[in-house]
Amino acid sequence: MAAIESVLNEARVFEPSAEQMARASIGGMDAYRALVDEAARDYEGFWSRLAKQHLSWHKPFTRGLDESNAPFYTWFADGQLNASYNCLDRHVEAGLGERTAIIFERDDGEVQRVSYRELLARVCRLANALRARGVRKGDRVVIYMPMSVEGVVAMQACARIGATHSVVFGGFSSKSLNERLIDAQAVAVITADEQVRGGKRLPLKSIVDEALGMGGTEAVAQVIVYQRTGGDVTWQAGRDVWLHDVVADQADTAEPEWVDAEHPLFILYTSGSTGKPKGVQHSTAGYLLWAELTMRWTFDLRPESDVFWCTADIGWITGHTYICYGPTAAGGTQVMFEGVPTYPNAGRFWEMIQRHQVTVFYTAPTAIRSLIKAADADEAIHPRRYDLSSLRILGTVGEPINPEAWIWYHEQVGGGRCPVVDTFWQTETGGHMITPLPGATPLVPGSCTLPLPGIMAAVVDETGQDVPNGQGGILVVKRPWPAMLRTVWGNPERYKSGYFPAELGGNLYLAGDGAVRNDKTGYFTIMGRIDDVLNVSGHRMGTMEIESALVAHELVAEAAVVGRPDETTGEAIVAFVVLKRSRPEGAEAKQIADQLRAWVGKEIGPIAKPRDIRFGDNLPKTRSGKIMRRLLRGLAKGEQVTQDTSTLENPAILDQLGEAI
């Protein structure tokens, strides 16, 4: 920890320019501190003022925060509104219907522009079609779609009729999809025939068919299919319908379903430290307020002139907040991208920024690190070869960014003039929590700096007591905020024990990350997960989920999964496996390892495939049978085992497990 503190103390500081301070939504540290002080003086009044200022209410609320049933907090509960109305109708009614809402670029480079008026009409047609097919307020609809305008339309259409959507990332397997369909008790699925990534067609409809064929999904009455490629699909009459057919005769207008502020807008499943994914449930008003507000604060969005581009997928929370809801609630223009950053070459991002005159660019450190390597290998696709002068703000998301990548991003992509907002947040938080503000916060590479106004973040010890700055501890939030998750779908006890644990007093939100605050500036640096959750390319994967998949294979008797640092993906998955037969070696070991990787990819999705697989006669366990994961983490990193191994049942096993395949 001392080494990290030294780096932060000695780090170069990038001060905001006078021009940035003059134009920013929160300009200068004095303006930032004024908002922080307002929240401290009148917490409920602070959030209520913002909710009245930034959202359009059908029925105004009379009360802000209700803590009477803690930790099941509510905000603005007696008010009514509609998320789709706030994202679309109010801009059209304000005379902004011809403003471009989405610039969509397909994998092959074809570009489609959709205005707010056109987007509203498309959402209304699908909303009417869903209503006509029996989908009602409170029903759950699973969306398993490629990156597309249709994906956003599907989400907004559900919100318009008060149906709760649950988007499943298109890279997840049929089994993962089946688990989510069952848990949500979905009544409908919206999907596509195929998706296209990097010039390759990848199935979606066939995976939906497999998921529905696994059982437990009898509530699904219909599957609506977007025809993306025209690829061959199997068809079940009476259940499967084409998207273009169901919207063909529908009206371009649809009355919004006015819902209570606490109405579940969506469920998004995220990996936990147990095998079963947990359905993070977000409310309508609190979530939407933070999505809109952070667009203005963190990205300093100027809807009349900015072109915003978040490179995430709608299957993750970043795509929910900073593609579907945030930019549209703010009335902005955004770029959406179907492809991958390295196709047809690794200059694709820079070429798109140049072509679409992107002003605010938001991507993951994993992508930045991979593009650094590509640029070093091929001068022709280096960012300096492109006109990136339109950029004024850069952002990172998904994991902490290392200082070296931050500096490259700032200098080579931003030309040394663009603030880099290193955003810390989670699926559960709904939006940014700790992040620099362009025009206010002095920037330090490698630090997400300070909490946003109204976010009472702190670092505590194992008993919930504050620790001094400069000392590492557990990241918590001391007071509920409007955008926080409301519960784990169908499992309120898991919500209470997982996010408000009794050992911390039962009233602190546990982020699940370790953190340290700089003893001079108070800046936060996130140290990584404290539970058994890995962060791979900005995507959270539960170790238990991967272990369960491995053990389900007929060859595997036992498995343990840990992470090791990786300069490109942040963390790499390392699996230690005991087979039901003798330990394989050489070519046979490689063959079985490849087989197990493919199996995990099928069970969970390609992103969960272990980078390394190591075989042993058994796993390192204490004499009481507990797996010594601290030893496995050291082995995964290639470290020499120096810890006490006297309690191990079989110390010799460590030599076997040190061999990566």
Residue list for the binding site for CoA = 197-200, 318, 537
Cross-strand pairs, 222: 188
Binding residues for Mg(2+): 551, 553, 556
Between helix 149-161 and helix 116-132 the angle, nearest 10°, is 60
Binding residues: 197-200, 318, 398-400, 422-427, 513, 529, 537, 540, 551, 553, 556
Binding residues for ATP: 398-400, 422-427, 513, 529, 540
Cβ atoms within 10 Å, residue 345? 12
562-597: b or e for each residue (b if 16 or more CB lie within 10 Å)? bbbeeeebbbbbbbbbbbeeeebeeeebeebbeebb
Instruction: Determine phi and psi for 659, rounding to 5 degrees.
Output: -95, 110
Contact yes or no for 264/283 (Cβ under 8 A): yes
AA letter at 488: V
In order of 16, 89, 389, 422, the CA distances from 22 in angstroms are 10, 31, 20, 21
| Distance between CA atoms of residues 139 and 383, nearest Å | 46
| Distance between CA atoms of residues 446 and 424, nearest Å | 11
Helix (H) and strand (E) counts in the chain: 22, 30
Beta strands 140-144 and 164-167, pairing class = parallel
Would you list the DSSP string of 534-552? EEETTEEEEHHHHHHHHHT
Instruction: Determine phi and psi for 489, rounding to 5 degrees.
Output: -50, 120
Closest CA to 577 of 595, 565, 564: 595
Instruction: Determine phi and psi for 190, rounding to 5 degrees.
Output: -115, 120
Distance from first CA to last CA of the chain, Å, rounded? 32
The rounded Cα 401 to chain-centroid distance in angstroms is 16
| Distance between CA atoms of residues 643 and 439, nearest Å | 48
Q: Which residue has the tokens 């601290």?
A: 630
